[in-house]
Amino acid sequence: MHLTERWFGNPLWRKELRQRMRSGRTVLALSLYLFVIGAVAFIFMYVNVQGQTLLLQPARTAELFMFLSYLQLAMISFVTPGIAAGTISGERERQTLAVLLTTPLSPTSIIIAKFISSISFLLLLIVMTLPLYSIVFLFGGVVPSQVFAVFGLQSLTLGTIASVSIFFSTWLRKTGWSTVFSYATVALLFLGLAILGYFLDDLSAHSPDQGILSWLSSLCYSINPLYMQASLEATVGFITPAFHQPVVASVFSVVASHDLTSFSAWFTFLLVYVGGSFVLLIASIWRLRPGGLIVMKKRLVKWLMR
């Protein structure tokens, strides 16, 4: 079987997409999402312009871009665990997993198919909003590369959250627990790391180990999608009226003080997110192998005895 046929012709992936996309709920969810995000964009513009489009300031459209991108990031963090946390545990609960595992589909192709089918719906949501973002280009203030960079970051974040959710879904028997752990991890990534970074920053100001603490806080911020998205929007962030809001200002101050636009910050982010996703998917594949856990335990014991 050719490689392309093997991956793109994966029957599980096609089945998942067919099941997901044929449901009326999916159409409703897509429409509702577009409606909400479109309404938000419209209201935002209406309030700022009051119908006089020629008076629109680029700084204002940049603010709209920021607003929309953060709304989208929030959506990704909320929706992804909901979709991906039941991929394997759901099969287990529906009692379809045993049959699936006796087909020639390997655990690798099952996990990859589940991963792709989970993220493709969300990627569709992201891509669907592109026309809305194009409003921003009508009035200037943001360059296309920035929009695409933000989309790239969001796609990567979405992929990582999906990997985390699939990992929990494979290792935990119940979808309920898998969902709880997935949301907890998302909360840790977004809020936990922000709080930890803030405390480390605060500590480093009064500690002799300033270097290490500052490095640790930079690490916390550089693996937080919230701050890394801000680093992509840093050039527009400082000029927007929203910058006068303390929360927005604090985010962009962190971006500047920890130099999150630097190569090292991005390298860390990419390493953790791409590497982390890879490791989690490998662990999921391993767990799905019949007797995978037993083999893992045996190898661990053997390694410890050595």
Chain contacts with other proteins (rule: CB under 8 A): 1, 9, 11-12, 14-15, 18-19, 22-23, 94-96, 98-106, 290-291, 294-295
Residue the block writes with tokens 């130099």: 259
First to last CA, the chain: 41
Q: Give the shortest CB-8-to-other proteins separation in angstroms.
A: 13
Nearer to other proteins, 53 or 96 (CB): 96
CB 221 within 8 A of CB 260: yes
Sequence-ordered list of residues with C-beta below 8 angstroms from that of 171, at least 6 positions apart, any chain: 283, 284, 287
Q: Give the shortest CB-282-to-other proteins separation in angstroms.
A: 19
Nearer to other proteins, 213 or 288 (CB): 288
d(CA 132, CA 191): 28
Helices (H), 129-245: 130-139, 144-171, 175-187, 193-205, 210-222, 225-232, 234-237
Q: Based on the number of CB atoms within 10 Å of its own CB, is 104 exposed (0-12), middle (13-18) or buried (19 or more)? A: exposed
Nearer to other proteins, 73 or 110 (CB): 110
Return the half-sphere exposure (C-beta side, CA atoms, 13 A cut-off) of residue 48: 22
d(CA 160, CA 122): 13
Q: Give the shortest CB-146-to-other proteins separation in angstroms.
A: 40
Q: Give the shortest CB-1-to-other proteins separation in angstroms.
A: 8
Nearer to other proteins, 192 or 292 (CB): 292
Nearer to other proteins, 13 or 181 (CB): 13
**Burial state string for 81-90 with b = 16 or more CB within 10 A and e = fewer than 16:** bebbbbbbbb
Q: Give the shortest CB-5-to-other proteins separation in angstroms.
A: 11
Q: Give the shortest CB-118-to-other proteins separation in angstroms.
A: 16
Nearer to other proteins, 246 or 291 (CB): 291
Helical packing angle, 58-84 and 107-128, nearest 10°:
150
Nearer to other proteins, 105 or 196 (CB): 105
Nearer to other proteins, 20 or 123 (CB): 20
d(CA 169, CA 67): 32
Q: Give the shortest CB-132-to-other proteins separation in angstroms.
A: 31
Q: Give the shortest CB-57-to-other proteins separation in angstroms.
A: 49
* Distance set, CA 231 to CA 208, 213, 228 (Å): 29, 21, 5
